[in-house]
Amino acid sequence: MERIGVRELRQHASRYLAKVTASGDPIEITEHGRPIARLVPITDDPWADMVAAGEITPAAGGGSVRDMEPIASDFDASGELADLRAAER
């Protein structure tokens, strides 16, 4: 990962913004040699971002929650929970 100082970024901000946009590689910003920030490209796919960051894991089955059929509107979740709790007792 490329590292640049705050002064360098301030003087050539548009150059580094174009570089990050074109390459997709982040740039680490330093102040007095210590990392303080990261300049990263924005992607249009938040799911891919979360997978790359290790925040979520894709389903092994390959299905998507978006492909699921909606639950019938007459479904009573409170009633179902009450029935489950009663069955446990």
Domain that holds residue 9: 2-88
Q: What is the chain's pLDDT, residue by residue, as a tens digit (89 residues)?
A: 899 999 999 999 999 999 999 998 999 999 999 999 999 988 788 888 888 889 998 877 767 777 778 777 787 889 999 999 999 88
| Full-model pTM | 0.52
How many structural domains are present in the chain?
1
Q: Is 89 helix (H, G, I), strand (E, B) or coil?
A: coil
The CATH number that applies at residue 56 is 3.40.1620.10
Find residue 5's DSSP bridge partners. Answer: 30
